[in-house]
Amino acid sequence: MITLKTFFEEARAGRLTGIRCLRCGELAVPPKEFCSSCQERAWELVPLSGAGTVTSFRVIPALGSTPEAPYAVVVVRLDEGPSVPGRTVDLPLESLAAGLPVRFRPLVAGDQTVIGFGPSA
> What residues make contact with Zn ion under the rule CB under 5 A?
21, 23-24, 26, 35, 37-38, 40
CB of 44 to Zn ion, least distance (A): 11
Neighbours of 95 (CB within 10 A): 10
Return d(Cα 111, Cα 27) in angstroms, integer. Answer: 27
CB of 38 to Zn ion, least distance (A): 3
Return d(Cα 4, Cα 62) in angstroms, integer. Answer: 30
Return d(Cα 56, Cα 11) in angstroms, integer. Answer: 22
Compare residues 66 and 83 and give the one whose CB is closer to Zn ion.
83
Compare residues 38 and 60 and give the one whose CB is closer to Zn ion.
38
Return d(Cα 81, Cα 100) in angstroms, integer. Answer: 16
Compare residues 38 and 59 and give the one whose CB is closer to Zn ion.
38
CB of 82 to Zn ion, least distance (A): 13
